[in-house]
Amino acid sequence: MISYFILNIPSAIPWFDFNRINVLITLAVFFCFLLYFIGRAKKGKSLFIRRIAGLDAIEEAVGRATEMGRPILYIPGIEDMDNIQTVASMIILGNVAKMAATYETPLIVPICRPFVVPVAEESVQQGYLAAGKPDAYDKNSVRYISDEQFAYTAGVNGIMLRERPAANLMFGSFFAESLLMAETGFSTGAIQVAGTANIHQLPFFVVACDYTIIGEELYAVSAYLSKEPKLLGTLKGSDLAKLVIMIILVLGAILITANILWFKNWFFVQ
C-alpha cells in the first residue's frame, strides 16, 4: 500500500509550504479570538450581543397569532440535525414554544427528517416547561411529514391551507421549496418571519415574508437566546475577526493608493 502511494504521489509536495505561512498566521489569530471569547463566556463573563431586530418580529408574529386565536406554524427547514442551521432553529423553536405556552397559542411544527423529531419534541417540551405549563404540551404539535423535499412542501402547504395559521415562522436550511411555502403562506394572509443562511433562498424570503433574518443573523439569534458559551464565544470571536478584516480593508486601500505595496503583498497567497 505504501509503495502504491509512493509511486503515485508526486515527490515534489513539501511537508511545510512556506508560501502559505500567512494563511497559518491568519488562522492561528482567528482561532485565538474564538478560544479567548469561548473561555470568557464559560467563565460567566458578560458578552454583549445586540438584540437582533428579527426577535421583535417573532414576538409580533406570536402576538398576532394569539390575538386572532389561530395557531403558529414553525418550519425548521429540511435538513438533518448535522446542519448547523437546524441546530440554531431548534434553539429558536424552544423560545417560540415558551412564548406560545405563555399565551396559550397552539403551535404546529412539521418536520422533514426523522432525526429532527425527537429534538424538536424536546425543544417544545422544554419551552412549555420554562413557561410553567408542562401539562399544556401537546405531543401532536410536532409532526413528521416526509423525507422527500416536495412531498414535505406539499404537506406544509396543506397545513397552511387547512389550519390557517396566523403566523408562519421559517428558520433553518431551505432550498427550492422556500418560495413555494412562503407564497402559500402569503396567500393565506399569515404574518411571516423567515431566516436562513442559504443565500440563494434569501431573495424569495425577502420578497414573500414580512421580516427576514439574513444569513449569520440566524446564528446570532440562537446565540442570543440560548446564551450557550460556545455559541456566544464563537459569535464574538467572528465579530472580532470581521473587525480586523474591516480595518485591513480600509488600511489596505489607503496604503495601496499611496503605492505602499508590502501590506497587501503580505496577504497575497501564491
Q: Interface with another protein by CB under 8 A: which residues?
A: 1, 8-10, 13, 20, 22-24, 26-27, 30, 48-50, 52, 148, 150-151, 154, 183, 199-200, 202-204, 206-207, 214-217, 220, 235-236, 239-240, 242-243, 245-246, 248-250, 252-253, 255-257, 259, 264, 267-270
Least Cβ distance, residue 171 to another protein (angstroms): 17
Cross-strand partners of 196: 214
Give the number of C-alpha atoms closer than 13 A to the C-alpha of residue 218, restricted to the C-beta side.
29
Which residue, 63, 41, 248, 68, is CA-closest to 169? 63
Q: Quick one: 136 or 161, whose CB is closer to another protein?
A: 161
- Cβ closest to another protein, residue 136 vs residue 249: 249
Sign (positive or negative) of CA dihedral 143, 147, 153, 154: negative
> Among residues 128 and 186, whose Cβ is nearest to another protein?
186
Cell of 171: 428558520
Query: Residue 223 Cβ, how far from another protein at the closest point, in Å?
Result: 8
**What minimum distance in Å lies between the beta carbon of 105 and another protein?**
27
Q: Which is nearer to another protein, 22 or 102 (CB)?
A: 22
Report d(CA 126, CA 141) in Å as an integer. Answer: 14
| Complex with another protein: residue 63 or 215, whichever CB lies closer | 215
Query: Closest approach of Cβ 141 to another protein, in Å?
Result: 24
User: Which amino acid, 60?
Assistant: E
Task: Please return the burial class of 67, using the count of CB atoms within 10 Å of its CB with bins 0-12, 13-18 and 19+.
Answer: exposed
Task: Say how far apart CA 57 and CA 128 lie, in whole Å.
Answer: 21
